[in-house]
Amino acid sequence: MKAIVQRVTKASVTVGEEQISSIGRGLCVLLGISVEDTQRDAEYMVRKILNLRLFEDEHGRAWSKSVMERDFEVLCVSQFTLQCILKGNKPDFHSAMPAELAQPFYDSILENMRSTYKPELIKDGKFGARMQVHIQNDGPVTIELTSPTGPTDPKQLSKQEKQQQRKEKTRSKGPSESGREKGAQRSRQDPNASSGAEGDVSSEREP
């Protein structure tokens, strides 16, 4: 899931000639839902959006307060084009969740925001409509968020697990026995030799 979060002095959404939503000071969030997104991604986004410290405190200190701490508003707009993949110069949107699945998923994100914050301060656009979004960016301040969920493909997960296991085995192994034996043999053959045995000893020192 991707989100473009903008700190605004005001923002609004118009469909046709009708203004359907507007906010004063707060955040305007463009939200792009991926075909692979789960509830985990949604919870991450809601938590981040509502807790980003993009506002000043009562003493004017920047980057100190979240939208919730300042009692400001949030305007969310569904934005599937954030999941664009360019093929040459042509945008491809197959990574975006299909509309019939994305709409209830998006609605659940809004409900999560409203239950976490104040429902009357969470506004949205009109899902699937051709909207005119008017944003008066304050700063400008624009933050890009991407949910950190890993691959859901079992083959990919298995591959990651094997790579992690190999890393753990490598870390758990000490200096090789054969290396120590060869170093000891070279040391017995030539007590003044420095390249072999000393090299092995240095590899065993703490970093």
Please list, residue by residue across 50-86, b when 16 or more beta carbons sit within 10 angstroms of its beta carbon and e when fewer do: bebebbeeeeeeeeebbbbebebbbbbbbbbebbbee
The model's pLDDT over 157-178, given as tens digits with 9 standing for 90+, comes to 455 556 666 665 665 555 544 4
Q: What is the pTM of this model?
A: 0.71
Q: Which of 115, 20, 9 is nearest to 77 (CA)?
A: 20
Q: What is the pLDDT of the chain when averaged over all its residues?
A: 83
Give residue-wise pLDDT tens across range 92-148. 999 999 999 999 999 999 999 999 999 999 999 999 999 999 999 999 999 999 998
What percentage of the chain has pLDDT greater than the value 70? 71
